[in-house]
């Protein structure tokens, strides 16, 4: 028993598995952009991970750290080897099932785009960020315009109130001498009547 030299082998070393993978690759239709090689050193994987988490969670209906970690491990190059999207799609099929092809199609398109950009970020993400900033700026402008309109409305109301108070004050000033004259005239008339009655 001890003379038997059995040892384990990896899937890559197992010829049977390799043949099976090759047959599956040949029999599966892949998108044309899978032919584009991606240098993961040029990709900012940290920016990609939230998208991967979101997509996997959406497909599975919950956040599965095992699947997300598996996708991440597939994308991290080892020994300088390039990521093969065809093999990756077949490996993920057991997890994402029918959702694997659309997931891989979009993921690979983003990776191809990312390696072509200076900061390793897909153009789609950059455009989305620009759109978010534009919407935020527009919202801030709307708030500022609303506040300005409110300020102008308050200033108009205050100006109208001030004008009303001025008019009331002017009316009071204008009516006071007339009332005083009328009162004085009334007193004079009353005095004349009293003096006539004494005579």
Mean pLDDT by 10 residues, the chain (199 residues): 49 59 86 92 92 94 92 78 88 92 96 93 90 90 91 91 87 66 68 63
Classified as helix, coil or strand, 66 is helix
Q: What is the pLDDT of residue 59?
A: 92
pLDDT of residue 11: 52
CB neighbour class for 135 (10 Å; exposed up to 12, middle 13-18, buried from 19)? exposed
| Close Cβ partners of 91 (under 8 Å, ≥ 6 residues apart) | 74
Q: Is 0.85 surpassed by the pTM of this model?
A: no
* Burial class of 60 by CB neighbour count within 10 A (0 to 12, 13 to 18, 19+): middle
Q: What is the pLDDT of residue 26?
A: 87
> Per the structure block, which two tokens stand in for 5?
């030299």
């Amino acid at each position: 028993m001890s003379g038997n030299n059995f040892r384990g082998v990896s899937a890559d070393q197992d010829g049977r598995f390799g043949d099976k993978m090759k047959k599956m690759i040949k029999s599966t239709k892949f998108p044309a952009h899978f032919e584009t090689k991606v240098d993961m050193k040029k990709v900012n994987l940290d920016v990609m991970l939230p998208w991967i988490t979101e997509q996997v969670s959406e497909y599975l209906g919950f956040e599965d750290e095992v699947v997300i970690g598996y996708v991440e491990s597939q994308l991290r190059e080892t020994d300088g080897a390039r990521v093969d999207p065809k093999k990756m799609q077949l490996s993920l099929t057991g997890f994402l099932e029918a959702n694997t092809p659309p997931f891989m199609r979009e993921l690979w398109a983003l990776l191809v785009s990312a390696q072509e950009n200076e900061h390793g970020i897909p153009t789609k993400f950059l455009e989305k960020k620009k759109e978010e900033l534009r919407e935020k700026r527009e919202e801030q402008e709307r708030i500022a315009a609303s506040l300005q309109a409110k300020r102008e409305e308050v200033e108009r109301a205050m100006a109208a109130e001030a004008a009303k108070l001025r008019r009331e004050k002017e009316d009071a000033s204008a009516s006071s001498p007339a009332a005083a004259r009328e009162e004085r005239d009334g007193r004079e008339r009353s005095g004349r009547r009293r003096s006539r009655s004494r005579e």
